[in-house]
Amino acid sequence: MSVSSMNHFTILTDDLDATLAFYDRFLGLRPGRRPPFTFPGAWLYAQDGNDPILHVVAGKPRAALVRGVIDHMAFTAQNLQASVAKLQAADVPYELRRLPEFGTWQLFFHDPNGAKVELDFDAAEHGPVT
C-alpha cells in the first residue's frame, strides 16, 4: 500500500453558515459539488482546484466538536502580509512563526469550531508590517 498525496480534511461544525463564511473569507475556499448525503454539510474547493480539499460535516451539537489525534490542517498560501492584515481586521487571534533553516512562514489560527488552521508561506515573502 502507498499514497501519492493528501486528499482532504474533514471538520465538524454546529454552524454551517459561519463555517463556510470563515473558510471563504480567510482561505478562499468555496462550496462545490457534493454527493447527496443524508446529513448536512459542504465540500470546499480551492478557487483553482477541481478536487474538494475540505469536507464540512454539519448538524453536530457543540459538545460533539471535540479534538481527536489530528492537531491541525495546513495549506500552502500566498500573500502573508494581506493574510495577517485580514486576521487582524477581524480580531482573529493568530500565531506567526518561521521555520528554522527553511525560513518558511507558518501562520496559525482557529476556525469558529476550534479547528486549528496553518497557512504556509514561501520564505521569500516579506513579514507583516508591525
| pTM for this predicted structure | 0.88
pLDDT of residue 38: 93
DSSP SS3 for 95: strand
Residue 27 has pLDDT above 90, yes or no: yes
User: Is 55 within a domain?
Assistant: yes
User: Residue 87 and residue 69: Cα distance in Å, rounded?
Assistant: 26
What is the domain count for the chain? 1
Confidence (pLDDT) at 130? 65
Per the domain annotation, does 35 fall within a domain? yes
Q: What is the DSSP string of 12-29?
A: E-S-HHHHHHHHHHHH--
pLDDT cut 70: percent of the chain above it: 98
Position 130 in a domain? no
In a domain, 3, yes or no: no
Residue 5's pLDDT is: 79
* 1 is a domain residue: no
User: Does a structural domain hold residue 2?
Assistant: no
Q: What is the mean pLDDT of residues 24-29?
A: 95
> Where does 1-130 have alpha helices with state H?
16-27, 80-89
**Strand (E) positions, 19-114?**
30-31, 41-45, 52-57, 73-76, 95-98, 105-110
* CATH classification at residue 111: 3.10.180.10
Other Cβ atoms less than 10 A from the Cβ of 122: the count is 12
Distance between CA atoms of residues 61 and 88, nearest Å? 29
Q: Which residue has the higher pLDDT, 37 or 71?
A: 37
**Residue range 9-30: average pLDDT?**
95
| 46: containing domain | 9-62+70-121
Q: What is the pLDDT of residues 81-95, one digit of tens each?
A: 999 999 999 999 999
Q: How would residue 14 be classed by pLDDT, with cut points 50, 70 and 90?
A: very high
Considering the domain boundaries, does residue 126 fall inside one? no
64 φ/ψ sector (left φ>0, alpha ψ -120 to 50, else beta): alpha
Q: Is residue 31 in some structural domain?
A: yes
